[in-house]
Homo-oligomer: A and B are copies of this chain.
Amino acid sequence: MSVQEILETHPRALIADAAVLARCLDECGACEATCTICADACIGEPDVSELVRCVRLCLDCADACAAAMRILGRQTEAHPPSQLNVLETCLAACRACADECELHAAHHRHCAISAAECRRCEQACEALRAALTTLQ
């Protein structure tokens, strides 16, 4: 809630509708945390050698979400190419991670939760892409 609230007090024009933008930033934060924990849970499993691709894609997803949250969170003197590129990077990483986590969802509950969070973040990124006023 605090993310939308602070966006609404920003002195410059927002790059998109405050609610759509805040939802994307909130999901990037939640997805970074969830993927960090899923990677860590995977390395703590007895069958870690089956989860190597999942660890890697969770780590990538956390890093992509972190960069997207920061670059898209800034409204002052926004630079559309960087915004759009980081949004695409986040989308690609969320999709790859969700696809992989889903393969392990039946065996590892943390992968099911991580997959669901990656899908929510993917959808929030898609909604923001459609709403970016600076790209229209």
Contacts and interface: CB of A to CB of B under 8 A. Distances in A.
A92 B96 contact: no
Interface of A is mostly: helix
Interface string A44-56: 1110110011011
Contacts of A74: 36-37, 40, 56, 59-60
Interface residues of A, number: 66
A86 B64 contact: yes
Given A6-B37, A12-B44, 5 more contacts: A3-B34, A9-B113, A44-B77, A48-B52, A57-B79
Interface of A: 2-3, 5-7, 9-12, 25-26, 29-30, 32-34, 36-41, 43-46, 48-49, 52-53, 55-57, 59-60, 62-64, 66-67, 69-71, 73-79, 81-82, 85-86, 88-89, 92-93, 96, 108-110, 113-114, 116-117
